[in-house]
Structure 1
Amino acid sequence: MSDVEVVAPNFKRQLSGVTSTIVQLIPLQRQLGLGIATLGPGLPDGLPRLGWLSLFSFWRRPKGRDVRIWHARRNNEMVAGVLMRDVLRMPLRLVFTSAAQRNHKPFTKWLIRRMDAVIATSARSGSYLEVPHTVIMHGVDMKRFHPPQMPEDDFSASGLPGRYAIGCFGRVRHQKGTDLFVDAMIALLPDHPDWTAIITGRTTAEHKGFEDDLKARIVVAGLEDRILFLGEVPDIKVWYRRLSLYVAPSRNEGFGLTPLEAMASRAAVVASDAGAYAEMIEPGKTGVVVPAGDGAALKEAIRPYLTDPDLAAIHGNNALAHVRENFPLEKEAAAIMDVYKRVFASGGRNNGRK
């Protein structure tokens, strides 16, 4: 425990975007010389992690530090941090990362005011905060998500019809706008026989009826061989590399990493303005952004790429360069490290805390 300067708790057993962020960042943060470990369920083997009994060691300061940082990303993690610091008087300082793009409830606002530093994952999420904060957007692992390199990365290796692929990845549900994508494909694909649409992602029991309805509409349109639900695939990365165009049609989103993963794989992107999508994409250069929930606008934004695959290739190349410059995961890790350094240097004092 004496070597652990920062604890990144994960108080959720199911895999989530927050969990994925923790899993990807911690190895990079350790490479930067930070003594960081995680705590909680639902984490893969290999990460430096603490057991629950280690909480009793938090009264002891880490080696060379006056305080230890507790970096929360969920409300329950903030609650735990406040209890340990303010009730149990442990030498902790609290950092919170907020991705929410909505007005916070009073209790959440109170918790956020108790933090020693706050990070927003986008300018849009930061606009809902009433405290000073630092905007640090998520990055993407450029080693895992990269342009095609092997024959299997070419769409022809999939065995599916067509020469070009357009994809929509993620959980299949109304919130994610899967129906908007399917409707656009039903309208557009009859005029563009070289393209095949691919939908991947898990469908929970709650949303099975939603998926079944979409499949029925596809059958009625006679496009069941060209609009394909693949479910959860063993390796989503290769499917990104097979795309010429990626579509992110979410009606609402916390942050949303899939456009970055697609752009890192050299695909152009059409996305709604949900989440942080609008802050990732350079309209007219790497893709197009449309109003969330606007199916007609989504369809018309996709149409030029299907008509001109060369445009998709140009924007895909631009997207790759854009992500490499602005969104590498290492940049996110370094920016968070700067926040930690400021908290350590100040002793973590948040003079505006109420």
Structure 2
Amino acid sequence: MNETRRAGEGEAAEASPAPDLRRTYVIAPNFKRRLSGVTSTIIQLLPLQSRMTGIAALGPGLPDNLPKLRWWQVPGLLLRPEGKPFRIWHARRNPEMLAGIILKHVFRAPLRLVFTSASQRHHTRYTRWLIRHMDAVIATSHKSARYLLVENTVIMHGVDVDRFSPPADKAEAIRSLGLDPAQRYVGCFGRVRHQKGTDLFVDTMIRVLPDRPGWSAIITGRTTASHAEFESDLRARVEKAGLADRILFLGERKDIPRYYRALSLFVAPQRWEGFGLTPLEAMATAVPVVATDVGAFSELIEPGVTGEIIPPDDLDAMSTAVAGWMDDEERLARASDAALGLVHSKFRLEGEASRILEVYEKLWRMQ
């Protein structure tokens, strides 16, 4: 999942007080300190969910302004909350499922266990055992649902349409980033590494940009130490092609919505992905998307309407598709409007939060 899905980036926030456990009906555990797609999901959803029901996160690596249980409050989970027959423990990783199982079956905590799966591969025997102990299972896409051997509900991720929104003035949005407003920009955002297909994007740009002087490319995302050589090789390719002034490596950016607003086309070139939020973030900013057929991309993009789906790891297909969109200004304009409309009608973050609440409510009704 995409690392850009964050809330309150760059903003100082006061720590929230410890929530009243008696009126906390849902626990969202997060046992991974380093930022990940799962962590980002919790960061995005909790503020919305807290308006709908009493909810709190538990664990490290989360902003202080989120409602969070303190570790000293954990024994209180053994007591029934006020007004509900039990709490919901909503896990998104194996260790969190295991913790819920121990709390429920060993310590007899009044809990029901929910698991969200984004995986698109066959689960290990251990994971299948954990999943069988869940009271409800959510899949983030129909592809993910096919790998689950239990009854599940498909609830696709949504995007914050207030945070990701089109610019009032595209040229000014470009200028504000220190870029050339006379150029159109195609972007590729996410961690710089082989799995994310950054090399495919760079090689595509090396093919298509020389014949399209009105276009340039920007790449944003973190490069970890283990992938520094990979990025250096990409930069060398760009230098050799004489395109260093038109294929820009901008590094990790906290204000990523501003960079989407500078784009006219987005490319998601991943070789593998669990779900993949970047196409939704781009489309919410009225930017059409060319994406590989991995993750949930084929369930997010309407081919020929809001963008195009191509085979993964296929440089020829990517180059042909990107060039076709660059060369058809009318199609770009139509797809821009269609992309924005699609996200607002089907993929709002509020819709995701509401559908998750329906799963909780069903469990509470069943008792």
TM range (shorter): over 0.9
Normalised TM-score (structure 1): 0.96
Please state if 1:31 is matched with 2:51: yes
Opposite residue 289 of structure 1, the aligned amino acid is: I
Please state if 1:242 is matched with 2:262: yes
**Counterpart of 1:275?**
295
Question: What is the RMSD computed on CA atoms of the aligned residues?
Answer: 1.1
Please state if 1:333 is matched with 2:353: yes
How do residues 198-213 of structure 1 correspond to structure 2 at under 5 angstroms?
198-213=218-233
- Residue 64 of structure 1 and its aligned partner are, at CA, apart by 1.0
Q: Distance in 1 between matches of 2:329 and 2:246?
A: 17
Q: Distance in 1 between matches of 2:226 and 2:94?
A: 25
Normalised TM-score (structure 2): 0.92
**Counterpart of 2:137?**
118
**Counterpart of 1:253?**
273
Residues 93-135 of structure 1, C-alpha deviation per residue, up to 9 Å, x if partnerless? 1000000000000000000010000000000001000000000
- Distance change (3 Å), C-alpha of 1:152 and 1:301: closer
How do residues 6-85 of structure 1 correspond to structure 2 at under 5 angstroms?
6-32=26-52, 34-85=53-104
Residues 309-328 of structure 1, C-alpha deviation per residue, up to 9 Å, x if partnerless? 33222211110000000000
Matching residue within 142, 147, 151 for 2:161: 142
- Residue 160 of structure 1 and its aligned partner are, at CA, apart by 2.9
- Residue 155 of structure 1 and its aligned partner are, at CA, apart by 2.3
**Counterpart of 2:247?**
227
Q: SS where residue 2 of structure 1 aligns?
A: helix
Opposite residue 66 of structure 1, the aligned amino acid is: P
Q: Distance in 1 between matches of 2:241 and 2:23?
A: 61
Q: SS where residue 215 of structure 1 aligns?
A: helix
- Residue 291 of structure 1 and its aligned partner are, at CA, apart by 1.2
Q: Distance in 1 between matches of 2:178 and 2:113?
A: 51
- Residue 53 of structure 1 and its aligned partner are, at CA, apart by 1.7
**Counterpart of 1:350?**
none
Q: Distance in 2 between matches of 1:101 and 1:306?
A: 32
- Residue 39 of structure 1 and its aligned partner are, at CA, apart by 0.6
Opposite residue 251 of structure 1, the aligned amino acid is: R
Q: SS where residue 189 of structure 1 aligns?
A: helix
**Counterpart of 2:343?**
323
After TM superposition, which residue ranges in structure 1, 4 or more long, deviate above 6 angstroms? none
8 Å Cα contact 2:170/2:262 also seen in 1: no
- Distance change (3 Å), C-alpha of 1:311 and 1:76: same
Opposite residue 266 of structure 2, the aligned amino acid is: Y
Q: Distance in 2 between matches of 1:54 and 1:150?
A: 49
- Residue 153 of structure 1 and its aligned partner are, at CA, apart by 5.0
Residues 287-313 of structure 1, C-alpha deviation per residue, up to 9 Å, x if partnerless? 000111112111111111111233222
Please state if 1:182 is matched with 2:202: yes
Q: Distance in 2 between matches of 1:100 and 1:151?
A: 37
Residues 51-107 of structure 1, C-alpha deviation per residue, up to 9 Å, x if partnerless? 112111111111111111100000000010001111111111100000000000000
Give % identity.
Answer: 57
